[in-house]
Amino acid sequence: MMALGVMLAAGLASGEGTVEWGGFRGPAASGHGRVTRLPERLDDATLRWRVHLPDGASSPIVAGRRVFCTAYSKGRAVTGALDRVTGEALWSRAIPCGGRPSNRNSPAAATPTTDGEVVVAAFDGAGVVAYAAATGKERWRFDPGETRIPHGWSSSPLLAGDRVVLQLDALDGGRLVALDLETGAPLWETPRPHAGAGYASPALASGPDGDPVVVVAGSSRVSGYALDDGRERWWVGGAGATLKGVPVVHDGVVHVNTWSPTFEEVGGERIDRPWEDLLAARDADGSGAVEADEWPELSGKTSWRTIDRDGDGVLVREEHEQLRLEMAAPGALLTIRLGGEGDVSESHVVWRVEGGRGVPDVPTPLRLGDRLLTLRPGGIVAEFGATDGKRRSVRRVEAPGEILASPVVGDGKVYCAWFEGIVTVLDAESLETVSTNDLGAPIVATPALVGEEVFVRTRTELLCFGRPEDR
């Protein structure tokens, strides 16, 4: 039974247009929840409801009384709304989906976004679809075409005013596309020829003149694009190969984590050597290129798909050069001052930490006051000075395995959801562990923090937790 307090809290927040957690990482993609108080433990005592969901890697979002989720089931891309207080299904819609699920990822990997009126969902293999938030009535669809990328298109759509921005990076190049939120019609499209495979999502920031700028982290570059017409206003080079997460915009700067595979991870056999040396070793038929059958150990594997960008079965000089350029920049945590025009690689990089402990791959860093909190596999929690990049502490919490979800914070508590199903709650000040909670199923999605509630989507369920005394 729901107590009056819960009903009231949800009721007060349920006015149309109230959007508490409207996209990936919540308000302004910050990872900071608009909350009153949150539970210290996620267990039977704090569980308010749990519902089964089809498989998915996307995060739940919340607007007023509704929670929205996406999922993938038997060739269908599913979008649904649930009652925030009871978990009851309000509506569910499905469209055909040609994407393929995997251990770590899903065609439903992109987190949907909403302004409280419309929900926009994106799927690998099904494109983008918009529904009325209240009824689930379909408003429009957009087909981005095929996106060649090893783990499937996963970038979350950005809702910015009257438009939706899509980052469509792929092995053979990328695009940034803006759609009209009302109709789904394309407003502009900007090619991103330097982009390779990437899974990052765009973020919204302001330019020096106050104009909205879309910050995009992709292979080789972090860029700022004008929201109004899509022109690239500034960029910073040396951004690595395959980026995830979302740029963290905070008070005139943006923090970005980048990642590059090691040479051993792409081919093993000294793929970083000059093209002429590679040809001498591999080009048996003297064609001036390396055909797949000239590198049988690699062909058919992810590493071959990574280097043969256009997927024609032939490795040519341009593809090799692009790979070397990306891999020349190791994984890093970098902070860029917003603004400037053109190449601001020299002028606007405030600090850069390359490699080493605490530099994250998949999870987005969390800004906590003058610190940046980062998560690494094996329970590694690190903090960096946000203004100087100095590594302040590295600790290990009780959580084995991978980390794919991003940390989020509310009510002085940081929630870290590890792939093996452990959610660690940390004190946001001391970073001491408050509780360790086993939810019993893999977690890829970033939790949502709203009001008095913590929403966690595992691969099989959506769970809602709240403080027991509030029931």
Binding stretches for Ca ion (CB under 5 A): 283, 285, 287, 291, 308, 310, 312, 314
Q: Name the residue whose CB lies closest to Ca ion.
A: 287
- Put residue 414 in one of left, alpha, beta given phi > 0 → left and psi -120 to 50 → alpha: beta
What is the smallest separation between the CB atom of 321 and Ca ion, expressed in angstroms? 12
> Do 160 and 115 contact (CB within 8 A), yes or no?
no
DSSP assignment letter at 364: P
What is the smallest separation between the CB atom of 13 and Ca ion, expressed in angstroms? 52
Name 81's bridge partners. Answer: 68, 91
What is the smallest separation between the CB atom of 280 and Ca ion, expressed in angstroms? 11
User: Distance between CA atoms of 212 and 209, rounded to whole angstroms?
Assistant: 9
* Both structure tokens of 207: 């330019």
What is the smallest separation between the CB atom of 306 and Ca ion, expressed in angstroms? 11
What is the smallest separation between the CB atom of 148 and Ca ion, expressed in angstroms? 11
Q: Which one-letter amino acid corresponds to residue 457?
A: R
User: Distance between CA atoms of 387 and 385, rounded to whole angstroms?
Assistant: 6
Question: Which of residues 55 and 291 has its CB atom nearest to Ca ion in the complex?
Answer: 291
Structural element, H or E, at residue 278: helix 275-282
* Both structure tokens of 62: 């919340």
Question: Which of residues 171 and 353 has its CB atom nearest to Ca ion in the complex?
Answer: 171
Question: Which of residues 264 and 312 has its CB atom nearest to Ca ion in the complex?
Answer: 312
Question: Which of residues 138 and 312 has its CB atom nearest to Ca ion in the complex?
Answer: 312
Write the DSSP assignment of 441-459 as a string of letters. Answer: S---SPPEEEETEEEEE-S
Q: Which residues, at least 6 apart from 376, have a Cβ–Cβ distance to it below 8 Å? A: 357, 358, 359, 360, 361, 382, 403
Q: Which residues, at least 6 apart from 433, have a Cβ–Cβ distance to it below 8 Å? A: 397, 398, 424, 425, 426, 427
Question: Which of residues 99 and 267 has its CB atom nearest to Ca ion in the complex?
Answer: 267
Helix axes 275-282, 317-327, angle to 10 degrees: 120
Question: Which of residues 189 and 310 has its CB atom nearest to Ca ion in the complex?
Answer: 310
What is the smallest separation between the CB atom of 216 and Ca ion, expressed in angstroms? 25
What is the smallest separation between the CB atom of 105 and Ca ion, expressed in angstroms? 24
Question: Which of residues 96 and 313 has its CB atom nearest to Ca ion in the complex?
Answer: 313
